Amino acid sequence: MKSKTALISLLLGILSFIHLFGIEKAAMAIIFGTIALKEGLEDKKSGYMAKSGILLGLLYLVVLTVVSIKYFPEMFKLIENLK
């Protein structure tokens, strides 16, 4: 692949049409961070950046999952009451 930034541009353009509470951004952060680490990085700073991106993406997904697990049962109860 000649230009990785061109590929990233294309992927982000496609993702502009998808809105899933930021899940798509977290997924991209994790995937690109993992790819960067597997390819091998020349300096420590890049490694820290990739790891930070992965951790932030995972943290967001965990927070969103915890909030969903906490609040969705209430919403489901509300739906059952409205039936």
**Does 68 interact with other proteins (rule: CB under 8 A)?**
yes
DSSP run (H or E) holding 33: helix 23-39
Site for other proteins in 5-34 (CB under 8 A): 20-21, 23, 26-27, 30-31, 33-34
Q: Which of 39, 34, 40 is nearest to 57 (CA)?
A: 34
CA 70 to CA 78: how far, in whole Å?
14
Please tell me whether residue 56 binds other proteins under the rule CB under 8 A: no
Q: How many CB atoms lie within 10 A of CB 15?
A: 14
Closest distance of CB 13 from other proteins, Å: 21
* CA-wise closest residue to 28 among 18, 43, 39, 41: 18
Task: Write down the least CB distance from residue 10 to other proteins, Å.
Answer: 21
Binding site for other proteins (CB under 8 A): 20-21, 23, 26-27, 30-31, 33-34, 37-44, 47, 50-51, 54, 57-58, 61-62, 64-65, 68-69, 71-72, 75-76, 78-79, 82-83
